Structure 1
Amino acid sequence: MNIKDAVVLVTGANRGIGLAFAQALLARGARKVYAAARNPSTVTLPGVQALQLDVTNPEEVAAAALHAADVTLVINNAGIAQPGGFLSEDSEAVARRIFETNFFGMLNMSKAFAPLLKANGGGALLNVLSVASWVNGGELAAYSASKSAAWSLTNALRHELAGQKTQVLGLHMAYVDTDLTRGLDAPKSSPEEIVQRALDGLEAGADEVLADALTQQVRQGLTAPRPVYLPQAD
């Protein structure tokens, strides 16, 4: 997938990783960037087209597909998180809310835009996932579960869309220095670093990008004698 002259839609493009994607896409020569956000007035980056889009709202997803019918790359970046485990009193409500954005929102966008990508030559989907797709320690239980589901969705879409020559890339990373992780005391990558590696992988034809060292370590640890997703001895 070539970025130069591409027409791209980025969800959650008003801040964090989404904003970094929009900036990098313009720098790499994208012909048009639709910067989608629930409140388009928060999109202030020059050179993009602000687009109102709540990925949990089917009517807004359908309207976005009509407006951005020339799209060749969709970046499913919109996501939310909330601390807490599954035994918390409000865990069911929290899980439903997070899944609506992180899983069903990605599904809504993929279904709406897959026919447009086909009509425009195939193009690509880039789904922003997480190292939490593979490991759930309970601190962000619903978020981790939603990212596991989004990883499975991404893997299925890769098979379903192969016939129309749509590249599907899953982006995995650990902590990134954004509003989402502001309260976490842990080493963090910059959004710009993550986005550069993601777009390099996209242009190289990759199916997955493991965008930082911790993610690469965790991926290797999935096949350890005691896999990293199990409690580890002190």
Structure 2
Amino acid sequence: MKTIFHKAETRGSADHGWLKTYHTFSFANYYDPERVHFGTLRVLNDDYVAAGKGFGMHPHDNMEIITIPLEGDLQHKDNMGNQEIIREGDVQVMSAGTGVYHSEFNPNSDKAVQLLQIWVFPNKKNVKPRYDQISLEDIKRDNEFYQILSPDSKDQGVWIHQDAWFSLGKCEAGKEATYQLKRAENGVYAFVIEGEVTVNDKPLKKRDGLGIWDVEELNVVCNTNARLLLMEVPMEIKN
């Protein structure tokens, strides 16, 4: 088993007033040659967007972009004609492919929105751009991991152009759960959204991250009530 540990307070950060953001991996003005990506996981941004503020239209290409609101709402618009509100309990995916423009805006006048934005390198370049979002209400489970993303459009959750699987877990203090990797050559990046957990004997606190590879499964013990995101991704970039 191999691991890499990123404490929450070691992340890059920026405060633009309307936007407070934390970067697990190198992004924008934050650069650390030791923290550029974890396998095909390229970006893990933890964003706080003030009421009535947001990102104007901007471009992306050849990247799988996943957005998970943690609190509040986010309004999405793009040049494919999509205009949607994503809320806490939803997950959104956008395959940028040959190129897409989109904006993200907090439509609420009285509260910030907190969200995770995640980028994954695709296994196919220059695909037709696509957009999707789903509610997790009907698939969420307590005290076990439930899948929210996969490579298969017929599987549970949203899908992307990569052999990756994301799972969420919400557990009570004292509970344990096991995650079995889907592919032996993959690794898993575990990110603690709330609370404190122990993953394969490694204690983690809120917003800590732990990358694990050369392992068949993860054993998770919830030391407090906790929420955890597991991102299983290929360790080698191929495209």
Q: Same fold (TM over 0.5)?
A: no
Instruction: Calculate the TM-score normalised by the size of structure 2.
Output: 0.31
TM-score (structure 1 length as normaliser) = 0.32
> Which has a greater percent of strand?
2
Instruction: Please state which structure has a larger fraction of its residues in helix.
Output: 1
